[in-house]
Amino acid sequence: MTSPRTEWYRPMTARNPYEEHRASSPLELLFDLTFVVAISSAAAELHHAISEDHILAGGLGYLVVFFAIWWAWINFTWFASAYDCDDALYRVLTVLKMAGVLVLAVGIPAAFEHFDIGTVVLGYTIMRIAMIALWLRAAHEDPARAPVTRVYAAGLAVIQLLWIGLVFVPTPWSFIGFVVLVICEVSLPPFAESRETHAMASATGGTTWHAEHIAERYGLLTLIVLGEVILGITGAFGPALSERGFSISLLLLGIGGLLVVVGLWWVYFLAGDDEGLTTQRVAFLWGYGHYVVFAGVAAVGAGLEVAVDAEEHTSHISTTTAAFAVAIPIALVLLVLTGLRRLTWAPGSLAPGWVAFGVVGVLVCAALAGVVGIGLSVLLMGLVGTVMLIGYLLLLRGRELRAS
């Protein structure tokens, strides 16, 4: 039984990166759930923007707000993989960070529509107070890696002050400032983990993230995003059925949407990526590349809602455009996920021919929407994905049999 002192305080030392049976904690799962609201809000804004034929502005706004969501998640996830001590102070600071996520979610519509980032920056400021405190605590209780953890703490503090200043910068300079600060954000972890910082850390290396734990965390967020897709589809179908009643095209769209969601889930969870996360370089590329994967999966949900609007004739775009709102995110997820797995899977494990078939297939199905209708077009996308998946699995199975 855990003693009261252990429950209230555990030293925040670097966790063993080879620890067996390392799994996500209940606190991490609760933390992930706070992102449900933010992801749902971003997808809803994208849905409305596309449906109202504000595609370019909506797409750019979506990329901006989803970066804010994704980066907030990634900051804590990698820290927790290295320093999760799960004592009382750690939990309190994590809850403070969760509060910041919820504030961020409230500010998404304003950031999306008018680039009014004040509320989002407020949410980030709350989160950064918690993260800086966590990094400073790690510096105090893990002296060997203090140079690394202090770089993280100082970098976050400086960048956050610049974000606060950006709130008062007028457009178009605020857009330029946003790009510059995003570059600063994504550059901080590689700089903090660089060899120069390691040298100051007496050759102990950087933070001790756990490959299996990280792969599981990314998989769990993928499931959350897929859940948002299902929630969005359900929310779109309810009013359509109640107002206009059942139709064959809606049925086909629903079946196709389900096939798409299941196909994306199956492709993502074909095999674990943790065995290939062996170096910092691979980990950064793999982790950062998931921005497109997460944003793309959520955009599929927005696209399916747009498809329902097109079927119900409540959108301001053509049927073909609505179909491409579904197909393009699917294609991006397949392409980027395949590229990431070139980093983490063994040579010969990929099936690029089948992926190419899937990408080209869904785009062709979208192009046919004006002829066959949006419902059949989405169904064909789902069927193409199913054929791609079956071919992929058969190819991998054949290679396994030949290898044995």
pLDDT of residue 204: 53
Interacting residues of 225 by C-beta distance below 8 A, sequence separation 6+: 39, 294, 297, 298
Q: What is the pLDDT of residues 301-351, one digit of tens each?
A: 999 999 999 998 888 999 999 999 999 999 999 999 999 999 998 877 788
Segment among 128-137, 140-149, 256-265, 266-275 with least mean pLDDT: 266-275
pLDDT at residue 161, as a whole number: 98
Residue 121's pLDDT band (cuts 50, 70, 90): very high
Q: What value does the CA radius of gyration of the chain take, rounded to a whole number of Å?
A: 22
pLDDT bracket for residue 1 (50, 70, 90): very low
Give the pLDDT mean for 129-145: 96
Q: 375: Cβ–Cβ under 8 A, 6 or more apart, which residues? A: 247, 248, 249, 250, 251, 252, 253, 256, 311
Where are the domains positioned within the chain? 25-200, 211-403
Q: Looking at residue 273, what is its pLDDT?
A: 86
pLDDT in tens, 71-90: 999 999 999 999 999 999 99
Backbone angles phi, psi at 3, to 5 degrees: -75, 155
Q: Residue ranges of the alpha helices (H) in 23-87?
A: 26-33, 35-51, 55-83
Tell me: pLDDT of 392 over 90. no
Tell how far CA 269 is from the center of its chain: 15
Residue closest to 309 by CA, chosen among 237, 206, 209, 208: 237
pLDDT of residue 403: 60
Nearest-angstrom CA–CA distance, 383 and 377: 10
Say whether pLDDT at 139 is over 80: yes
The pLDDT-based confidence of 365 (bands split at 50, 70, 90) is very high
- Beta-carbon neighbour count of residue 162 at 10 Å? 12
What is the predicted pLDDT for the residue at 101?
97
Range with the poorest average pLDDT among 227-231, 242-246, 275-279, 310-314: 242-246
Task: Report pLDDT digits (tens) over 179-238.
Answer: 999 999 999 999 999 854 544 444 456 899 999 999 999 999 999 999 999 988 888 887
Q: Which helix (H) or strand (E) holds 159?
A: helix 146-166
Is the pLDDT confidence value at 110 over 90?
A: yes
Q: What is d(CA 13, CA 8) in angstroms, rounded to the nearest whole number?
A: 15
Q: Which amino acid is at 157?
A: A
Six-digit token string for 143: 């002296």
Picking from 188, 163, 211, 40, the residue whose alpha carbon sits closest to that of residue 109 is 40
Residue 199's pLDDT is: 47
